[in-house]
Amino acid sequence: MRISEFLCRALVLCLLACFPLVTHAQDEDSGQALLEALDTSSYAAKGQAIEALAASGDERTRYWLETLLDGKLQRNKDSGRFVVVLENRGRNWPVEDALTGESLGEMSRRDLDRIGINNALRGQLQSTLAVLDLRVDDLDARREAAARLVGEVDDELAAPLAEVLEEEQNAEVRRYLSHALAIHRLEQGDATAVDALAGSLDSKVRAALNQATRSDDAKLADAAQQALASIEQKLKLNRGLETLYFGLSLGSVLVLAAIGLAITFGVMGVINMAHGELIMLGAYSSWAMQQVLPGQPGLAVILSIPVGFLVAALAGIAIERSVIQHLKGRPLETLLATFGVSLILQQLVRTLVSPLNRTVVTPEWMSGSVMINEALSLTLNRLYVLGFALVVFIGLMLVMRRTRLGLEVRAVTQNRAMARSMGIRATRVDILTFALGSGVAGLAGVALAQLTNVGPNLGQSYIIDSFMVVVFGGVGNLWGTLVAGMSLGIINQILEPWAGAVLAKIMVLVFIILFIQKRPRGLFPQKGRAAEG
């Protein structure tokens, strides 16, 4: 009894071990039969073989059909084995087995027969491949396949595409397929197709509607014209939103560049013309971190935030201790001295690094854009800079409102003499304030490094704009700096398309001059006795 039981178990194990081999052999046999049907001189029979391949459900079907379309599916004359040509150059071609994918080395091109197709079969293959792509489980692959079909549907593809549309559950894929079929119907002169296309921002849809406006059918041309007018209104709205986004992005840069200046100017009354060079040092800190950490741009960007702050803050302390403390109460001399410091810092960078611009690599997670619709996308690097500016602003507000340093800074800002009489060490406050403002300028440089090239003249592009933001918003007021920076950024983006960059800046400057005539203290003036005086 034990021997018979042992033999039964051994027989079962042998059958289980042989089962994959049998299945594999069956797969090869079925695949061989499908490919055999393609090797015929009748193009009609080849068309039926292509349909049989598509209906077989074999996972290798797409590969076979794609290689057949590219002319790479061939058959060895001697052995009858189907092979795929990997590269058709020279006399001997590298090939692989069409059934198993196994490399077969090289074969002479004279030993191979290509499975030929004509234009009709080529169109059938393209349609079949398109439908196969729409039946995969991967949603992203289906979405891309459906988007590719917009404007590319012909009579042969229309029917199977309509079947796929009935089965598809995803709304975005259905929308692409609906537009693809509607464009095909529109090209056939069907005026009802306009309703399915109305409101779409796809460029291919607009091109099809524009073509329909020239139709001899007056009803169709009029419907297409109305649909285009509706789409144009949506495009104007999206262009306005895009302008607003770019304006907020520019405004966030202006806020970062000006907010540190607002602190130092408000507390110390110092016109620091070297503020732009502190921004430049922050940008070079970001570049330097990528040199220290090659191949890791994401980590380098994160570490450059504290490094850029510290480098700029230390440089600010050095400027305050060496130059500004000796010129307190003499704004004109301070302006000239800090302008000289800015020239020294520029030349120092040119000497130690290079006079040429440097490029900071944008991390992968900051690259690309967020697609809102076909006409509106938000670039990620600008979105991150906008968020970073708001985080820095909130951080500064917390420092100014919830810390002892913030309390002392506000006291010195409102009335320096009274603050001294209350025991506040104004000199220490000046040093820390200048370090804080300079450090924030360094953070602005880190953000700018993700938007533009880093060079010795980087800060000069933002120093004048920074002063305009500070004066427009109200000297020493952080909320005023935020509102002014965002406002000027949006105004610049609105004016530049039709006035040009230079004229737009002139118009903004004229606007600020006229505004200051009416409100000399800006949007949000200081409060306190010093402000009244």
b (16+ CB within 10 A) / e for 217-246 = eeebeebbeebbeebeeebeebeeebeebb
**Model confidence at 11, in pLDDT bands (50, 70, 90)?**
very low
Instruction: Please name the amino acid found at residue 381.
Output: N
Per-residue pLDDT, 28: 56
Measure the CA–CA gap between 262 and 241, rounded to whole angstroms.
29
High-pLDDT (> 90) share of the chain, %: 19
**Model confidence at 526, in pLDDT bands (50, 70, 90)?**
low
- Asked whether the predicted pLDDT for residue 446 surpasses 90, the reply is yes
- Structure tokens given for 384: 């991150």
**Model confidence at 244, in pLDDT bands (50, 70, 90)?**
very high
Q: 477, 226 in Cβ contact below 8 A?
A: no
Average pLDDT over residues 228-232: 90
Average pLDDT over residues 31-41: 82
The pTM of this model reads: 0.73
- Give every CB contact of residue 366 below 8 A, 6+ residues apart in sequence: 301, 380, 381, 384, 450
Measure the CA–CA gap between 55 and 386, rounded to whole angstroms.
52
**Model confidence at 527, in pLDDT bands (50, 70, 90)?**
low
Per-residue pLDDT, 532: 46
- Structure tokens given for 500: 């040009």
Measure the CA–CA gap between 251 and 464, rounded to whole angstroms.
14
SS3 36: helix
Angle, helices 478-499/218-268, rounded to nearest 10 degrees: 140
- Asked whether the predicted pLDDT for residue 390 surpasses 50, the reply is yes
Instruction: Please name the amino acid found at residue 37.
Output: A
Domains of the chain: 26-119 (no CATH), 243-532 (1.10.3470)
Q: Answer with the residue of higher pLDDT: 107 or 10.
A: 107
**Model confidence at 407, in pLDDT bands (50, 70, 90)?**
confident
- Asked whether the predicted pLDDT for residue 478 surpasses 70, the reply is yes
Q: Answer with the residue of higher pLDDT: 249 or 426.
A: 249
Measure the CA–CA gap between 519 and 526, rounded to whole angstroms.
12
**Model confidence at 377, in pLDDT bands (50, 70, 90)?**
confident
Per-residue pLDDT, 349: 92
Q: 373, 238 in Cβ contact below 8 A?
A: yes
pLDDT one-digit tens code per residue, 111-157: 888 888 888 888 778 778 877 888 888 888 888 888 888 887 877 77
b (16+ CB within 10 A) / e for 101-118 = eeebeebebebbeebebe
Per-residue pLDDT, 9: 53
